[in-house]
Structure 1
């Protein structure tokens, strides 16, 4: 088997070998400056695809392109990677590793600051899917951001205008925003409970038959979720009259 490597064409879902591109030494400086990210200069390296007649379907490309990551402050790279993987796994082809498919498709899923980040990566510097994920996440979700969000979670306090149900939704959103928060279920329940106002703490304690924290984590979560549903139902009933 050949050890040749392939690089994806950014414009079209077509695979080309490095040998098919014009050698860097034979290109003028003007050509190199005009096309700094094409062919030889790609950061992502894809190993040779052995399957015949392999192609990426247009509808999958369109799906990926409608769910782009821009690199805005509110964008979560963990969420993007998770959604992207779900889309990429819909394409299965014999003798084609799914990681290779993900590497081919990934460039279609980013733009703006995220695309600029990629364009600055050195040629042939991303060799595997895991390598790409690590570099991407570290750029747009650095350890300092994780630390900040973990501190926000640990300081959770129910907002004045929130019902206990709304407070629970807000707390869960905080957890989702920081996938690697490291809080156990026990710590999550304890933090949420102690962040509630006294009235809503009493309500949960009553639902628990005395003290929420005397329950197991599984029992406590069921009580909190049941209380959440009840609060929503009551709010809807009052709204509809």
Structure 2
């Protein structure tokens, strides 16, 4: 080995000692790891939540009413779909456009609303969709103002089927007091002087239809109709029956009344003479 190579070897050994000591020191102190994506996302969510809390200055009333038109009422719990049907579907805009609206006002007829609603839904329900679930999902869109407020104020789990939905709706907007009033009107119906038999019959049918849960038997309804007739009309109806109408079965009596009303309506006004025009002194 030459003399000039000895200083080089000394420098190399000194470098190696320093390098090893530095490496051992760095291994004892781990380098800081970069922030993970999960921690970053949590931090961002926290910032957004704090930002929303700062910006949202709505009152309690406004917060309670927000989303009322789109949120599903907590009172509704959908049942399992019938076999061969699906409960996963989208309410079409065409259906929502045609369903009737109910505001909960005293002059509105809740029974009529239910009938019209069921007719629209039945005619626009896809073949593979459970019709009862479709009605439960579409019914909130038919309610406005007071009626919608009532639905969203019901206790959670109140409605579990379409039948329970109708029952709760009628209990609210068609109370027992109204049923009692209509029952009295049905039982006390009277044909007015000058009122034709067809007109009286239609008025009676409309009154009965306005209270579908009157809980009156058919023979009792026919008795009320018969007793409310004018004496001359009652005699004519008995003559058509070939005796007393009450001796007929309810089905036969109902058919007889319906046929007589139809025939009288066809020939109503035929053979009746109008009042003669008064003669004037200088007419001739």
Q: Which runs of 5+ in 1 are unaligned?
A: 1-22
Q: Which residue of 1 aligns with 2:73?
A: 42
TM-aligned CA deviation for residue 131 of structure 1: 3.1
Indicate whether 1:92 and 2:126 are aligned: yes
TM-aligned CA deviation for residue 126 of structure 1: 3.8
TM-aligned CA deviation for residue 45 of structure 1: 3.5
Q: Which has the larger radius of gyration?
A: 2
Pair 159,40 (structure 1): closer, same or farther in 2 beyond 3 Å: same
Q: Which residue of 1 aligns with 2:219?
A: 186
TM-aligned CA deviation for residue 232 of structure 1: 1.0
TM-aligned CA deviation for residue 205 of structure 1: 1.0
Find the residue that maps to 1:72 and give its secondary structure: coil
Find the residue that maps to 1:42 and give its secondary structure: coil
8 A Cα contact 1:46 1:103, kept in partner: no
- Which one of 120, 134, 138 corresponds to residue 167 of structure 2? 134
Q: Which residue of 1 aligns with 2:97?
A: 62
Pair 162,85 (structure 1): closer, same or farther in 2 beyond 3 Å: same
Query: For the residues of structure 2 that align with 1:115 and 1:238, how far apart are their CA atoms?
Result: 54
TM-score, scaled relative to structure 1: 0.74
Q: Which residue of 2 aligns with 1:223?
A: 256
Find the residue that maps to 2:267 and give its secondary structure: helix
Q: Which residue of 1 aligns with 2:105?
A: 72
Query: For the residues of structure 1 that align with 2:136 and 2:161, how far apart are their CA atoms?
Result: 8
Q: Which residue of 2 aligns with 1:166?
A: 199
CA RMSD of aligned residues (A): 3.2
8 A Cα contact 2:79 2:161, kept in partner: no
8 A Cα contact 1:43 1:118, kept in partner: no
Q: Which residue of 2 aligns with 1:5?
A: none
TM-aligned CA deviation for residue 154 of structure 1: 0.8
Q: Which residue of 2 aligns with 1:13?
A: none
Query: For the residues of structure 1 that align with 2:121 and 2:92, how far apart are their CA atoms?
Result: 11
TM-aligned CA deviation for residue 48 of structure 1: 9.7
Query: For the residues of structure 1 that align with 2:248 and 2:87, how far apart are their CA atoms?
Result: 59
8 A Cα contact 1:69 1:111, kept in partner: yes
TM-score, scaled relative to structure 2: 0.64
TM-aligned CA deviation for residue 83 of structure 1: 2.5
Cα deviation, 1:157-192, whole Å, max 9, x if unaligned, reads: 112231122111111111001101122221111111
Question: How many residues of Structure 1 are paired with residues of Structure 2 in the alignment?
Answer: 213
8 A Cα contact 1:168 1:228, kept in partner: yes
Find the residue that maps to 2:64 and give its secondary structure: coil
